[in-house]
């Protein structure tokens, strides 16, 4: 059984999407990320995805460039070219894309609407759970 992104999102306790506007300060985005223990937030305006802001963006475009968190808007430093997946994609496809593009977060878009986001941690956990299930099934079959 191959798990889809939709199935992964449906398994979560909460289906919360965290986002900021491009006008938010980097400091505000970092506070939101710290509060919810997440590594990235979506950047949205009027319901449309504008970009993504991650810890990597902060390190490379704020800290290394000598900017301040309070004085820099997310829209100035966010990643604008956002890779995403649809809910029918498999976890294996997500992992391959994340590994190939060296990214840790993938927004999930269904019919032009953002419906969730998966992280590399989500994908790895789902893969391990799938593999453990298969191992249990094979072990049960062998011992029956």
Between 16-20, 38-42, 52-56, 133-137, the lowest mean confidence (pLDDT) is in: 133-137
37 pLDDT higher than 80: yes
What is the pLDDT, as a whole number, of residue 12?
Answer: 78
| Enclosing domain of residue 63 | 5-143
CA 95 – CA 30 distance, rounded (Å): 26
Return the higher-pLDDT residue of 14 and 138. 138
Number of domains the chain is built from: 1
Q: Which of 18-22, 62-66, 139-143 ranks highest by mean pLDDT?
A: 18-22
CATH number at residue 34: 3.10.580.10
Is the four-CA dihedral 128, 93, 90, 12 of positive or negative sign? positive
CA 9 – CA 15 distance, rounded (Å): 7
CA 4 – CA 9 distance, rounded (Å): 9
Q: Name the pTM for this structure.
A: 0.86
Return the higher-pLDDT residue of 118 and 132. 118
Model confidence band, residue 41 (pLDDT cutoffs 50, 70, 90)? very high
The share of the chain scoring above pLDDT 70, in percent, equals 97
pLDDT digits (tens, 9 = 90+) for 83-122: 999 999 999 999 999 999 999 999 999 998 999 999 999 9
């Amino acid at each position: 059984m191959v798990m889809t992104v939709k199935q992964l999102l449906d398994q979560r306790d909460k289906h919360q999407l965290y986002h900021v506007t491009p006008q938010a300060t980097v400091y505000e985005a970092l506070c939101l990320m710290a509060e919810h223990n997440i590594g990235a937030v979506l950047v949205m305006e009027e319901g449309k995805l504008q970009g993504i802001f991650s810890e990597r963006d902060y390190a490379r475009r704020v800290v290394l460039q000598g900017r301040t968190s309070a004085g820099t808007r997310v829209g100035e430093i966010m990643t604008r070219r956002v890779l995403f997946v649809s809910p029918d994609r498999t976890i294996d496809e997500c992992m391959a894309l994340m590994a190939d593009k060296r990214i840790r977060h993938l927004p999930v878009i269904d019919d032009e609407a953002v419906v969730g986001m998966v992280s590399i941690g989500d994908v790895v956990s789902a893969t391990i759970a799938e593999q453990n299930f298969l191992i249990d099934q094979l072990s049960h079959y062998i011992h029956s």
